[in-house]
Chains A and B, each alone.
Chain A
Amino acid sequence: MNFNQNYFEIFGLPIEYDIDPGGLSDRFLELQKEVHPDRFASSSEQEKRVAMQWATLVNSANETLKSSLKRAIYLLQLKGVELEENPQLPPAFLMEQIELREKLEDIEDGDGDLDELDSFKREVKGVVAAIENKFSDLVTEDLAKAEVLVYEMQFLNKLLIAANQLEEKLLDY
């Protein structure tokens, strides 16, 4: 196994942010059909071990490439950018965040209306989609700016997780 191959190369995809989800999942299935340990259930221990390593690698690659946030972080890493733990964010973005947080709290403090929560999530996803679009262009032009966009995505992702947790609570999972 060539451990130097990156996730894009493993899937035979160009190293770029935009990805076709259908194509990714087709390739994922084709690869697992070849490398999954079940294909080697009656082979030697060596082959089983190699299969296990490959199947694990293909699953990890798929997990990273499938998620728009993880893919963005990964792409920056490939380009040698080291992400900071506590980054500085543009004040305008932070203002927007505070407003969104307050909105979520209002939903929670109110009756916890599921429809409101739904439209809130849609709003946040819209903001994320716009940032992802910008990222896709900037990652080839201006890495410093692209890096800031990833921090913004991380921020919004945390907000979505909080929204999902509220949803779980409301639905009584």
Chain B
Amino acid sequence: MALLQITEPGQAADPHDRKRAAGIDLGTTNSLIASVREGVAATLPDMEGRHMLPSVVRYTAEGPIIGAEALEQAALDPHNTIVSVKRLMGRGVEDVRSLGEQLPYRFSEESSGLARIETAAGVVSPIEVSAEILRSLVERASETLAGELDGVVITVPAYFDDAQRQATKDAAQLAGANVLRLLNEPTAAAIAYGLDTGDEGVIAIYDLGGGTFDVSVLRLRRGVFEVLATGGDSSLGGDDFDHAIAEWLIEESGFEGDLSAELQRALLMKARSAKEALTSAEQATISHSDADFKVDAELSRDAFNELISPLVDNTIRACRRSVRDAGVALEEIDNVVLVGGSTRVPLVVSKVADYFGAQPLNDIDPDKVVAVGAALQADVLVGNKPDEEMLLLDVLPLSLGLETMGGLSEKVIARNTPIPIAKAQEFTTYKDGQTAMLIHVVQGERELVDDCRSLARFELTGIPAMVAGAAKIEVTFRVDADGLLSVSARETSTGVEASVEVKPSYGLTDDEITQMLKSSFDHAADDAAQRSLAEARVEAGRVIEALGNALAEDGEALLPAQDIDMLQQAIKKLQERLSGDDTRAITEGTEMLGRASEEFASLRMDAAVRRALAGKQIADLDNEMSDNEV
């Protein structure tokens, strides 16, 4: 279906320059995709006009079914219908069990590490399930926008740890989406509100969805959204309210013994309907009757409030901690914004209002606000708004630490540190001639390693053999703007780089991902080759365009004529290769051009920094002058 492209007023003049970008809210219960069109960010409906895609995948021998249709079958086919898969992302089976979760899935026995589920279509990992949801949304967007997406921003709970973030990014890779950025859900909501009202000041975002709770405190100033602190619980949400009701029901029924998977799912769905009804009604009736289980119960709102009160109190405690971490007084918070379906529960609204001492805002649809904010960010990142001043500065949600003697965690980077950040830590060998060393990285606030999340074990090898204590190994931890960790290591006295092998505790290895990617193009190897050629061309085109623009802007000011000439020659060479179809030649050409322009990239950045500070110096002068006048 080809749609007419209409140029947006005040946007890039040439419609061909406008890139297709989307924001995706990959939720526990519902997922959405939004895009900026004609200057307005809005969620995109499916063919039947539905905006929300239930985050449910049912595996059948014929292939996966995604969304509402799958949800309808959840109680009939509980083993093959994966609901709330987000709660399993980056987690092991033991984690899920220790969270007290009763899930009607058959977890694969062999799965050490990442939880895997046996289905009618074989064993699947939560990453693959999420990839199905993402693929379905991306397809919806490319149909609506009449073309492949150039890039997406995917939201994650701010309180997601590294394994959960990495799992989300891997899912996007499997779905074939180009991820511009992982964006924290509350930050996305803040963008939607901030850009909408243009207000400056401190805001708190309270986001209670189906499976996760986040709170973020941000300062908005001169187009910059600066996250001051974030907190939450990545396994607390409306699902837990449902579980609380279901447990109450089982108690009411007097039933003892094991529930079948079908019954578990049916009760949870009835609990959810009752909960949602209690948002406007004072009373809800829940009944179920089959051969082994019979119940007919009345749940009042007061009784419901009593069931969930401890859970809501936990969220308020997290708010208190984040406000304290943010270093602001409660009175300094100008606005409190509610996000997520579970903030419709009256008890939640009243407890939030009580704590913050202000009526919270929910003017933007709490179901859509995250996707809309992500779409706005995607539009900027993909390059559709070159003059946009908006910038997000986010933080690391949970401290990163290392296992030390006695199973203790030594913090390397503290929670709420602004990202990107890098920290180096020095280690030494404890045996003569030791050439390898094992490093265990954990995330969390607790003192004992066992109480933190295990992220990965790194084996450093290639340490030069020396007497014990002589080798000085500097290990550098880097957290990028997506909140993702990478590690490198170097022996400082000899300068030898130690190689780092990553074994994610609850994730897929690179090899596994490559394997899955290969098998997902189950067709001929040809397809895969076509695909990598197309990708190589896109990347080359991007580098040529970026360098061309940079040269036009700053070339003469920063480079001698012969260097400009050299770079232009290099561009021309790559362009020649582009017309051929030798993937390797194109990729190598792109790398070469990249290396040739490295120095120029640094010079440009230095110049930008000087400009920023020069502007500052003049502004200071102005301030001083106006101070003098007073």
User: Chain B: which residue is nearest A23 at the CB level?
Assistant: B620
Interface residues on A, range: 35 or more
User: What are 25 A-B contacts defined by CB distance under 8 Å?
Assistant: A1-B606, A11-B613, A12-B616, A27-B613, A33-B223, A33-B224, A34-B605, A34-B608, A34-B609, A35-B605, A35-B608, A37-B420, A38-B481, A41-B181, A41-B383, A42-B381, A42-B542, A44-B542, A46-B597, A49-B601, A50-B605, A52-B481, A56-B478, A63-B417, A172-B317
Residues of A within 8 A of B320 (CB): 171, 173
B residues within 8 A CB of A54?
605, 609
| Cα distance, A52 to B419, chains bound together (Å) | 10
Q: Is B276 an interface residue (CB 8 A)?
A: no
Size of the chain B interface, CB-CB below 8 angstroms: 54
| B546 and A43 contacting across the interface, CB-CB below 8 Å | yes
Q: Does A60 contact B (CB under 8 A)?
A: yes
B611 contacts partner chain A, Cβ-Cβ < 8 Å: yes
- B422 sits at the interface (CB 8 A): yes
Interface residues of B in 580-609 (CB under 8 A from A): 593-595, 597-598, 601-602, 604-606, 608-609
CA distance A56 to B424 in the complex (A): 13
Does B382 sit within 8 A of A, measured CB to CB?
A: yes
Q: By the criterion CB–CB under 8 Å, are B422 and A56 in contact?
A: yes
A128 at the interface (CB under 8 A from B): no
From residue A14, how far is it (CB to closest CB) to chain B in Å? 12
Contact A173 B480 (CB under 8 A): no
A2, A11, A12, A29: the one contacting B222 at CB < 8 Å is A29
Separation of A44 and B597 alpha carbons in the complex (Å): 9
Report if A31-B612 is in contact (Cβ < 8 Å); known contacts: A42-B381, A44-B547. yes
State in angstroms the CA–CA spacing of A116 and B25 once bound together.
45
- B-contacting residues, A27-75, CB 8 Å: 27, 29-39, 41-47, 49-52, 54-56, 59-60, 62-63
B175–chain A nearest beta-carbon distance, Å: 19
Smallest CB separation, B159 vs chain A (Å): 14
Measured CA separation A31–B609 after assembly (Å)? 6
Chain B contacts of A26 at CB under 8 A?
A: 616, 619
Query: How far in angstroms is the closest Cβ of chain B from A55?
Result: 5
Q: Is the CB of B602 within 8 A of A50?
A: yes
From A172, which residue of chain B is reached at the shortest CB distance? B317
Task: Say whether A46 contacts B598, CB under 8 Å.
Answer: yes
Stretch at the interface among B27-35, B39-47, B361-369, B386-394: B386-394
B113 contacts the other chain (CB 8 A): no
Bound-state Cα–Cα, A46 to B590, Å: 11
Contact of A173 among B223, B321, B613 (CB under 8 A): B321
Q: How far is B617's CA from A23's CA once the two chains are assembled, in angstroms? A: 10
Q: Once the chains bind, are B602 and A30 in contact (CB under 8 Å)?
A: no
Whether A30 contacts B478 in the complex (CB less than 8 A), given A41-B180, A41-B181, A55-B420, comes out as no
A binding-site residues for B, Cβ under 8 Å: 1-2, 10-12, 23, 26-27, 29-39, 41-47, 49-52, 54-56, 59-60, 62-63, 168, 171-173
- A26 smallest CB distance to B (angstroms): 7
Would B602 and A59 count as touching, CB distance under 8 A? no
Contact B543 A30 (CB under 8 A): no
Q: Is B431 in contact with chain A by the CB < 8 A criterion?
A: no
Q: Does B439 contact A (CB under 8 A)?
A: no
Which residue of chain B lies nearest to A45 when distances are taken between CB atoms in the complex? Answer: B594
A49→B606 CA distance, assembly (Å): 14
Which residue of B389, B478, B601 is within 8 Å of A47 (Cβ)? B601
User: Residues of A contacting B180 with CB < 8 Å?
Assistant: 41
B288 within 8 Å of A (CB atoms):
no
Known A-B contacts A29-B221, A30-B616, A173-B320; the reply to A42 vs B609 at CB < 8 A is: no
Q: Is the pair B620, A30 in contact by a Cβ cutoff of 8 Å? A: no
Mask: chain B, 221-252; 1 = CB below 8 Å from A; 0 = not: 11110100000000000000000000000000
B462 within 8 A of A: no
Q: B151 — which chain A residues lie within 8 A by C-beta?
A: 41-42
Name the residue in B389, B392, B612, B619 with the highest tally of chain A Cβ atoms < 10 Å from its Cβ: B612
In the complex formed, the residue of A with least CB distance to B223 is A33
Cα A47 to Cα B545 with chains together (Å): 13
Residues of B within 8 A of A51 (CB): 605
Let me know if B391 and A37 touch, CB within 8 A.
no
9 nearest A-B residue pairs (beta carbon): A41-B381, A42-B383, A12-B613, A34-B608, A44-B543, A43-B546, A30-B612, A46-B601, A47-B601
Q: Which applies to chain A's interface (DSSP): helix, strand, loop or mixed?
A: helix
Which residues of B approach A to under 8 Å, CB–CB? 19, 151, 180-181, 221-224, 226, 317, 320-321, 380-383, 389, 391-393, 417-422, 478, 480-481, 542-543, 546-547, 550, 593-595, 597-598, 601-602, 604-606, 608-609, 611-613, 615-617, 619-620
A41 to B593, CA, bound (A): 18
Nearest-CB residue, chain A, relative to B605: A50
A41 cross-chain contacts in B, Cβ below 8 A? 151, 180-181, 381-383
Residue pair B420, A31 in contact (C-beta under 8 Å)? no
Complex contact B321–A29 (CB within 8 A): no
Q: How far is the CA of A24 from the CA of B438 in the complex (A)?
A: 40
Assess the B391–A38 pair: CB atoms within 8 A: yes
Q: Which residue of A lies closest to B591 (CB)?
A: A45
Return chain B residues, CB-CB under 8 Å to A60. 421-422
Q: Tell me which residues across on chain B come within 8 A of A56, comparing CB atoms.
A: 420-422, 478
Taking a contact as CB atoms under 8 Å apart, the answer to whether B419 and A44 are in contact is no
Chain B residue with minimal CB distance to A42? Answer: B383
Chain A hits for B383, CB < 8 A: 41-42
Which A residues lie within 8 Å of B417 (CB)? 59, 63
Instruction: Name the B residues within 8 Å of A46 (CB-CB).
Output: 594-595, 597-598, 601
The CA of A51 and the CA of B601, in the complex, are separated in Å by: 9
Q: Are B601 and A173 in contact (CB under 8 A)?
A: no
From A55, which residue of chain B is reached at the shortest CB distance?
B420
Asked if A36 meets B393 with Cβ closer than 8 Å, knowing A51-B605, A60-B421, the reply is yes
Whether A31 contacts B481 by the Cβ 8 Å rule is no
Contact B546 A27 (CB under 8 A): no
* B613 in contact with A30 (CB, 8 Å): yes
The distance in angstroms between the C-alpha atoms of A127 and B81, with both chains bound, is: 62
Task: Knowing A55-B481, A60-B421, say if A38 contacts B611 (CB, 8 Å).
Answer: no
Contact A35 B609 (CB under 8 A): yes
Q: Is the CB of B222 within 8 A of A1?
A: no
| Interchain CA distance A1-B419 in the complex, whole Å | 19
Asked whether B546 lies within 8 Å of A42 as measured between CB atoms, the reply is yes
Say which residue of A10, A34, A37, A43 sits within 8 Å of B481 (CB atoms).
A37
A63 to B298, CA, bound (A): 56
Q: In the docked arrangement, what's the CA distance between A26 and B617, Å?
A: 11
Chain A residues, Cβ within 8 Å of B420: 37, 52, 55-56, 59
- Contact A39–B391 (Cβ < 8 Å): yes
Q: Which of B389, B422, B480, B598 contacts A37 (CB 8 A)?
A: B480
CB distance from B568 to the nearest CB of A (A): 15
Given contacts A27-B616, A36-B391, contact A52 B609 (CB under 8 A): no
Contacts of B619 in A (CB 8 A): 26
Specify the chain A residue showing the minimal Cβ separation from B611.
Answer: A34
Whether A31 contacts B613 in the complex (CB less than 8 A), given A23-B620, A41-B181, comes out as yes
Q: Which residues of B contact A2 (CB under 8 A)?
A: 606
- Chain A residues contacting B608 (CB-CB under 8 Å) are 34-35
* Residues of chain B with a CB closer than 8 A to A45's CB: 543, 594
Closest A residue to B313 by CB, please name it.
A172
